Amino acid sequence: MTDYMTYEGDLRAVACAYIEQRESGSLDYTAFLAAISAYRERHPDTNNSDAAQIVSDLMQEMPRASCY
């Protein structure tokens, strides 16, 4: 159950960071960097390159809805 909860929390953190940036007018790349930062807050031992790949994978599964 913990793995699913971690995955769900990661997806929510990434989605919210990305969506909040895009809704405030930020460019896609800036929003992507915010999503990476949100992921790394949850997993500080993950390097930037790995975090970027993981965030990219998570974003493929991100629902097209607001995070609120």
Q: Retrieve residue 54's tokens.
A: 């993981």
Which tens digits make up the pLDDT trace of 26-66?
999 999 999 999 999 999 999 999 999 999 999 887 766 55
Counting the structural domains of the chain, the total is 1
Cα–Cα distance between 31 and 21 in angstroms, integer?
Answer: 5
Tell me, yes or no, whether 65 lies in a domain: no
Whole-model pTM: value is 0.86
Residue 1 confidence (pLDDT) above 60? no
Residue 20 structural domain: 2-60
- Residue 63 CA, distance from chain mean position: 12
Tell me, yes or no, whether 41 lies in a domain: yes
